[in-house]
Amino acid sequence: MAEVSLRKVIKRYGQMEVVHGIDLEIAHNEFVVLVGPSGCGKSTTLRMIAGLEEISDGEIAIGGKVVNRLPPRQRNISMVFQNYALYPHMTVRENLGFSLKIAGKAREEIDRAADEAAQILGLTPYMDRTPGELSGGQRQRVAMGRAIVRHPDVFLFDEPLSNLDAKLRSQMRIEIKKLHQTVATTVVYVTHDQVEAMTLADRIVIMRDGHIVQTGTPLDVFERPVNTFVATFIGSPAMNLVDGMAEGGAIRLSDNVRVPLPHGFAALAEGQRVTFGFRADNLMPLGHGLAETGEVATLELPVSLAEPLGAETLLLAEIAGKEVQAKMMHPRPVSPGEVLKFQLALDYCHLFDAESGVRLERKRDHGTD
């Protein structure tokens, strides 16, 4: 059993604090993805779990045992580095077997484990090559193989796919997911790619400036972002955000664009300033959307750009001088400047406080709903 607990973990470099008291409980066999913009402290957090970085304050426990003072080798973890960190002077076989050799295992056992890992990862034909003679994807696999031969309690990944091209990346993403299903182990995975985070994670941890902003399942954070930062960070294309004001049972986005208050926001004070958020998937031209049930608002908006993607077209429309993205299913040609009637699915809209960016929750006005 290897659950990982971070309790009030702080990291300082000299005077500068870069991780500000993180609390995180990771369950046994859970796949947790740390995601956030560059410099937010993801790698630092991961390296503290690995023991490569001392923690300045707080407590880290693996499998219920506090490991604050243990060096990396005593934590029974494996790590896959961004640039793989394969030993250039060793063959693939030696790379795979290195940890077992250090542990003083018998030669046959090392070979068996290396062969098994190579089998799982399709590395068998390359066993006698050195890392310099492998492609990027193959090196990536060796790095993963080196991590799995030890049967660690916890796998740590630091942006393992960021050096691969788009196609290989999605392929390796699937392999990592499968790997997690084959060798059930706790995984902490760092990335700044929200697609990777959404597809891989059991639970996503969104970080910003050394704080955890939100923790939840991929659907949680997609459907209920706690603030505008998460709202724009998770999901592609990013959520549209338009500033508005509550006014007479509606939200006024501009002089001529008003959206009825979505269900559950009746309590909004008159004149309260909010940020109105919705995703492109929920703003579609009339007759070019999916059949939506529920509350729908109709807006007339000028289109400035159309981006045909085949099955759908991405439209750039304008609200109050601000560009918002919309989607058009069963597309037809759209010329720039054309004014289209759009339907906005209010059930999927979000309201955030204009000042703090914090999510405003829907209230159940009528008890039953």
Ligand X SMILES: Nc1ncnc2c1ncn2[C@@H]1O[C@H](COP(=O)(O)OP(=O)(O)OP(=O)(O)O)[C@@H](O)[C@H]1O
Binding region for Mg ion (CB under 5 A): 43
Q: What's the CA gap between 259 and 238, in Å, rounded?
A: 20
Q: Are 327 and 255 in contact (CB under 8 A)?
A: no
- Residue 360 binds to ligand X (criterion: CB under 6 A): no
Helix extents (H) in the chain = 42-50, 92-102, 107-121, 136-148, 166-182, 194-200, 218-223, 228-233
Of the pair 47, 173, the CB lying nearest ligand X is at 47
Positions 269 through 298 that interact with ligand X (CB under 6 A): none
- Residue 99 binds to other proteins (criterion: CB under 8 A): yes
Take residue 252 and report the two structure tokens written for it.
């006024």
- Residue 79 binds to other proteins (criterion: CB under 8 A): yes
- Residue 336 binds to ligand X (criterion: CB under 6 A): no
Residue 18 burial class via C-beta count within 10 angstroms: exposed 0-12, middle 13-18, buried 19 and up: middle
> Where do we find the tokens 């080798």?
73
276: which residues sit within 8 A by CB, 6+ positions away? 241, 242, 243, 244, 251, 253, 259, 349, 350, 351
Of the pair 161, 315, the CB lying nearest other proteins is at 161
From the CB of 79, what's the least distance to ligand X, in Å?
14
Contact string 23-52 vs other proteins (x = CB under 8 A) = ---------------------------x-x
Of the pair 29, 82, the CB lying nearest ligand X is at 82
Q: What's the CA gap between 23 and 6, in Å, rounded?
A: 5
Of the pair 110, 213, the CB lying nearest ligand X is at 213
From the CB of 8, what's the least distance to ligand X, in Å?
18
Of the pair 146, 169, the CB lying nearest other proteins is at 146
Contact string 192-231 vs ligand X (x = CB under 6 A) = x---------------------------------------
Q: What's the CA gap between 33 and 26, in Å, rounded?
A: 10
Residue from 2, 22, 40, 55 in contact with ligand X (CB under 6 A):
40
Size of the site for ligand X (CB under 6 A): 11
Q: Are 46 and 190 in contact (CB under 8 A)?
A: yes
- Residue 39 binds to ligand X (criterion: CB under 6 A): yes
CA dihedral 110, 116, 122, 124 (to 10 degrees): 50
- Choose the contact partner of 38 out of ligand X, Mg ion, other proteins, none; CB within 5 to 8 A by kind: ligand X
What Å distances lie between residue 350 and 276, 299, 336, 366, 369, CA to CA? 6, 17, 28, 20, 18
Of the pair 18, 195, the CB lying nearest ligand X is at 18
Q: What's the CA gap between 127 and 316, in Å, rounded?
A: 51
Contact string 143-172 vs ligand X (x = CB under 6 A) = ------------------------------
Contact string 173-212 vs other proteins (x = CB under 8 A) = ----------------------------------------
DSSP 57-71: EEEEEETTEE-TT--
The residues that touch ligand X, with contacts defined as CB under 6 A, are 13, 18, 36, 38-44, 192
